[in-house]
Amino acid sequence: MGEETDRSVKANDTRKDGGDGNHVSEAVQEDSDVKYYTLEEVQAHNMSKDTWLIIHDKVYDITTFLEEHPGGEEVLLEQAGTDATESFEDVGHSTDAREMLQQYYIGELHMNDRKKEAKKEVYITTSKESSSWTTWLIPAVAAAVVGIMYRYYMLERKSS
């Protein structure tokens, strides 16, 4: 496994990318212990003696788990070296199964190889916008004032 260790990109190894070392971003420094693997590297581990797969952009070495998998070794080998997120989710694995994943975690899929998720629409609500209670309270108070004035006006007219 020496080869992939050498090729794998360490999160804080920015100098490799031609950086001058002065521009190491804080976000990258935070998880400097995390190991990043390219899709190509993961794909190389596609056999029963050496089985990696990707689930939700995390890389797992499940070689020792193959025989233990309640769903059988076959299904895992079919996914070996690939992104198995969809198949994993399709089965509807239990919370226990999800917790088991941690034991086999070896790193993260490199950012460049991550599937671009459909852009999530993010709505930022400011105090001027609709969620504020003032949006309905002000018209309600205005309507009540107009109603009261109208009643007074009618009473006034009747009495004169």
Question: Does residue 52 sit in helix, strand or coil?
Answer: strand
Among 2, 18, 21, 70, binds ligand HEM (CB under 6 A): 70
Give the interface segment with ligand HEM, choosing from 5-13, 70-78, 106-114, 135-143 (CB under 6 A): 70-78
Sign of the torsion angle spanned by Cα atoms 96, 99, 101, 103? negative
Among 96, 117, 121, 156, binds ligand HEM (CB under 6 A): 96
Q: Does residue 93 belong to the site contacting ligand HEM (CB under 6 A)? A: yes
Q: Where are the beta strands (DSSP E) in the chain?
A: 9-10, 35-37, 46-47, 50-55, 58-61, 105-109
Give the interface segment with ligand HEM, choosing from 22-30, 43-51, 58-66, 144-152 (CB under 6 A): 58-66
Q: Does residue 101 belong to the site contacting ligand HEM (CB under 6 A)? A: yes
Q: Which of 74, 16, 4, 90 is nearest to 43 (CA)?
A: 4
Among 11, 88, 107, 109, binds ligand HEM (CB under 6 A): 88
Name the helix (H) or strand (E) containing 28.
Answer: helix 26-30
**112, 40 contact by CB (below 8 A):** no
Residues that bind ligand HEM (CB under 6 A): 60, 62, 65, 69-71, 75-76, 79, 84, 87-88, 91, 93-94, 96-97, 100-101, 104
